[in-house]
Amino acid sequence: MKPVTALALESELPMRLAITHETRYQYSPSVQTAQHVAHLQPANTPCQQVLHHEMQIEPGAPVEHSIDAFLNHRAYWALTHPHDGLLVRAYSEIQTQEPATALCRQSWESVREHFRYRGGQAGDVHSGFVFGSHHAPVHEAFLAYAQSSFTPGRPLMQAAQELTTRMHRDFSYESDSTDINTPALEALTLKRGVCQDFAHILLACLRSMGLPARYVSGYLLTQPPPGQARLIGSDASHAWASVYLPELASHASQGWLDLDPTNDRCGLASPGEDYVRLAVGRDFADVSPLRGVLQGGGAHTLDVAVTVAPLGE
């Protein structure tokens, strides 16, 4: 994939994508009752419009839909009878476009000061993204890695983009080298991992600098090798980070610069038109595609299949 290190130009023609995200669990012995929460419905954003969304659940159950604290779509359901497996299939049709461009010369120090706590004064609504979280803690090791990009007076937009590019150069993407329980500090030391690790490391670096940053879950359109058909179910969900620029709060992006260190892509409100945002939060724990509480059961197997393709392909 060709790396993009600058903000993309606005596209004249939108892109339409079809996304199927299928999750299958098999339980042994049977689960007696269960409660589940899913973040599988994309939201309308400055760079994407949801044309259609549906979700299938087996065994069937009534689904309650709500909006969570981060304005993500959330689905909840309960299974009150024994079952040996669970199927959740989400299908979405999304129209995307390239992020708009804007120039922001606000220094990283001024943003850090903007979010510094001051007693008796109202804080910024995004202040919660400055603090460390379970998967993206504030730590001196992240500060040490980030500091060379944040020279005195440097615009935050420029510094964050360079940090993203530097991570892309310094870290190796290795499937199965980590899992969601691998601490970001360990992945930083190893200099390898997958997109979730890189997103958490980038978050931890930005927060350790005193800057507000959030985790983004979603999808990325990938291209099959030349002459080969696209494989159904062979894609995977994706993750990246975004940093907040108060100077662009009134911009269409609402001030969020998206940063994908896995692919060295950056853009306001989205790294590019081939990305689809699913949900945002402090880290992966806030936006897990599917999680639940089970009564009974024991061992289980999990299969996840994701397909992202141009609509109508």
Helix axes 195-208, 156-170, angle to 10 degrees: 140
For 282-299, the pLDDT digits (tens) are: 999 999 999 999 998 888
- The mean pLDDT of the chain is 91
Euclidean distance between CA atoms 37 and 124, whole angstroms: 29
Report the range of poorest mean pLDDT among 119-128, 164-173, 213-222, 294-303.
119-128
Average pLDDT score over residue span 303-307: 94
pLDDT of residue 11: 43
Euclidean distance between CA atoms 297 and 274, whole angstroms: 39
Euclidean distance between CA atoms 145 and 188, whole angstroms: 9
For 83-98, the pLDDT digits (tens) are: 999 999 999 999 999 9
Q: Could you tell me the pLDDT band of residue 14, with boundaries at 50, 70 and 90?
A: confident
Distance of CA 46 to CAs 133, 160, 173, 204, Å? 27, 21, 29, 26
Whether the pLDDT of residue 231 is over 80: the answer is no
Smallest CA-to-CA distance from 129 within 228, 34, 206 is with 206
pLDDT of residue 13: 67
More reliable by pLDDT, 188 or 298: 188
Give the rounded distance of the alpha carbon of 176 from its chain centre: 19
Whether the pLDDT of residue 81 is over 80: the answer is yes
Phi, psi of 202 (to 5 degrees): -60, -45
Whether the pLDDT of residue 5 is over 50: the answer is no
